[in-house]
Chains A and B, each alone.
Chain A
C-alpha cells in the first residue's frame, strides 16, 4: 500500500450504532488530519494530530472521537450520530516541521475518503 488509505470506503449506520473510521499513511509523515466534506459546504477541518498529540479540535461534537495511536494510524470513532453527519470524511497527512525546514510546507496528502450515511 502506498500513500494514504481509508477504510471503509462506504458506511451506512443507524443513529444508535457505534462505528469507527480508519486511516493509515505510508509516507513517513508526523501529522494527520480529519476533514468533513458535506454537499455544498466548504471543507471543514475537524481534528489535527501532530506527533501523535491532538493540536486542534474545531468545536466538533463529542459524538466524534478521534484516536491517534501512532504516527501512521488515525481513527475516528462514531457514536449516536445524526442524519446531518452524513458526509464524505477525508483523512490527510503531512510532514510537520519548523518553518523553512525541508518538507515543512504543510503539503497535505489525502486519502480517498469514507462516504458516511446516517439513517
Chain B
C-alpha cells in the first residue's frame, strides 16, 4: 500500500530564510504527487503537483518541488520565507488510476520575525 512520510511535524525558519519541507513516498511506480497548504480553520489548497514531464514543478506563492525518482522524494522548497507562509503543509500521493489520495501527517511551518 502507498505511504507518505513527512519528516518533521514542525519546522521553524526565520523570515527570509530557505524553507525546506521533506516528503518521501513508497511506490513501485512513479505516482502523482501533490503538496497542499492549510491555513488555520480553512480547507486544503493545492500548492503544486507533479504528474508527468519536468521533475521540477513550480506552484503558487513562490513554492516549488522536485520529484526525484531515485530517492522517492518530493521535497517542497521556497527560497525566502514570508510571514504569510505560516501554515500546515501536506504531501499526498495518488497511484495512477487510483480513486484516492494518501496524505502524509502534515508539517506545521512557523516563521520567526
List A residues at the B interface (Cβ < 8 Å).
4, 6, 31, 33, 42-43, 45, 48, 50, 55-56, 88, 90, 92, 96, 98-100, 104-113, 115
Contact = CB atoms under 8 A, between A and B. Distances in A.
Contact of A106 (B36, B42, B94): B94
B112 interface: no
Interface residues of B, number: 23
B25 interface: no
A33 B103 CA distance: 14
A4 B34 CA distance: 19
30 contacts: A42-B103, A42-B104, A43-B90, A43-B103, A48-B100, A56-B100, A88-B41, A90-B44, A96-B99, A98-B97, A99-B96, A99-B97, A100-B96, A104-B97, A105-B51, A105-B94, A106-B32, A106-B98, A106-B101, A107-B32, A108-B44, A108-B101, A110-B36, A110-B43, A110-B44, A110-B45, A111-B43, A112-B42, A113-B42, A113-B43
Interface of B: 32, 34, 36, 41-46, 49, 51, 90, 94, 96-101, 103-106
A104 B49 CA distance: 13
Given A108-B44, A115-B41, 16 more contacts: A4-B43, A6-B43, A31-B99, A33-B100, A56-B99, A56-B100, A88-B41, A98-B97, A104-B97, A105-B51, A105-B94, A107-B46, A107-B49, A109-B46, A110-B36, A112-B42
